[in-house]
């Protein structure tokens, strides 16, 4: 029984470590695509105010990423290329 508990404990800790090692840039790219698709979605822009709010949120995120990745040229290039690779449905 102790061996089984130890094995499950090891798997649990390993899963936590591997989950926390996910790339922050990947999650930022995913959010970028989500916001870009939302800003292009005509269903979300039924009124001028809604469209303005979506656009402001998207541009605020872009500004935030510009500051966050100011010293990382590769990350900035990936963010620039993300606009071409987003799969908006």
Give pTM, 2 decimals.
0.61
Tokens of 34: 């989500």
Mean pLDDT value across the chain: 76
**27 located within any domain:** yes
pLDDT score for 60: 92
pLDDT score for 62: 87
**81 located within any domain:** yes
Cα–Cα distances in angstroms (integers) from residue 62 to residues 19, 56, 57, 58, 71, in the given order: 26, 10, 9, 6, 15
**55 located within any domain:** yes
Q: Give the structural domain span for 64.
A: 23-85
What is the count of structural domains for the chain? 1
Which letter, b or e, does each residue of 48-81 get, where b requires 16 or more Cβ atoms within 10 Å of its Cβ? eeeeeebeeebeebeeebeeebeeeeebeebbee
**4 located within any domain:** no
């Amino acid at each position: 029984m102790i061996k089984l508990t130890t094995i499950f404990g090891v798997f649990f800790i390993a899963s936590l470590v591997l989950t926390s090692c996910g790339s922050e840039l990947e999650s930022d790219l995913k959010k970028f695509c989500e916001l870009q698709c939302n800003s292009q979605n005509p269903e979300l822009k039924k009124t001028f105010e809604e469209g303005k709010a979506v656009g402001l949120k998207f541009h605020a995120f872009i500004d935030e990423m510009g500051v966050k990745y100011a010293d990382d040229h590769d990350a900035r290039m990936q963010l620039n290329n993300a606009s071409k690779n987003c799969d908006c449905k």
